Amino acid sequence: MPGNDNQSASTLTAEQVRQMSPRDFVQQLEMANPDNARPLIEAYLSAPMPADGRTPLHEAAARRAFRAASFLVQTGGDVNACDYSDWKTPLMDAALSGDSRIVKLLLQAGADTTRTLRDGNTTALHFATVNHHLDAFQAILNAPNASWYEHGIALLSAAERGYSDMVSPILQKRQISPDSRTGQGGNTALMTAASRGHLDVVKLLVEAGASTTLKNSAGEDVFRIAARSNQLEVLGYLGQVRPQPEVQRATEDLKNAGYTNAVAALGAHNPEQLQGLQQHFQNLRVSKSARS
């Protein structure tokens, strides 16, 4: 029968090891000394592969078991093994759990950052980005085989969530254009950040040269998107830093579309004026709500 949590790895029989679940095996391996690690691994690998295809290295990465992961890599564990359900690799599990030590270990052993889940889009870099695991994100971003497509997906994901500390290093890599269109509906990272009011990210993208005149599949530019989302701070910033002809064109467009608040925000000359406008519009909404 499988060994219990208190049983020493040195006293386990090969049959006990073969009957262990991947979780129990990784737990035993994490506690093993170097002399016991190899026999444990050889015994476990002599058993049939689990039905879901998840290897001990998957489990070690998911459970942040660095010692076990190190033993497995040293004994030839497949760093690019895919499970059978989602095609998840150990690197993806490490990125998802946020263990940068295991991420670096796997990368040094040849883990492929370009592998995707069955959906064809989700990579290890995406997992690190959406969960805001900054150290793991940096390690994967700087891997020599990271692709421009990975960077594009990560840029959009970081912009959507307002992670300026991730947007900045992606832009600094200069592997993709800040206008990369990897999102649904033809939206750029700037459009996505503007729609959610992530002003710090908007500033980074504009300073990196992101276009404010491009339009998405619905024919909307960043001004129209910010107006529709009532992101007055974003509009106030764009009104101050973009060329006047562009701001005038946007002003006319928004005026014709009936975005009164947005037109006022575009014309704000300083943060104090913009703050006053925001308070004014908030008071109007409160007053209208009270009357209804």
Q: What is the CATH number of the domain that holds 10?
A: 1.25.40.20
Is a pLDDT exceeding 70 seen at residue 258?
A: yes
pLDDT for 33: 85
Report CA Rg, the chain: 26
Is a pLDDT exceeding 70 seen at residue 3?
A: no
Does the residue 126 lie in any domain?
no
Does the residue 271 lie in any domain?
no
Does the residue 140 lie in any domain?
no
* % the chain with pLDDT above 70: 87
d(CA 201, CA 190): 8
According to the 3-state scheme, what is the secondary structure of 17-57? Answer: HHCCCHHHHHHHHHHCCHHHHHHHHHHHHCCCCCCCCCCHH
Does the residue 101 lie in any domain?
yes
Helix axes 66-74, 100-108, angle to 10 degrees: 10
Does the residue 36 lie in any domain?
yes
pLDDT for 1: 38
pLDDT for 10: 58
Does the residue 43 lie in any domain?
yes
Q: How many domains does the chain have?
A: 1
Tens-place pLDDT, residues 132-165: 999 999 999 999 888 888 898 999 999 999 999 9
Give the domain range for residue 101.
1-111
* % the chain with pLDDT above 90: 61
Does the residue 83 lie in any domain?
yes
Does the residue 171 lie in any domain?
no
The whole-number average pLDDT for the span 270-282 is: 58
Cβ burial of 17 (10 Å; 0-12, 13-18, 19+) is: buried
pLDDT for 290: 54
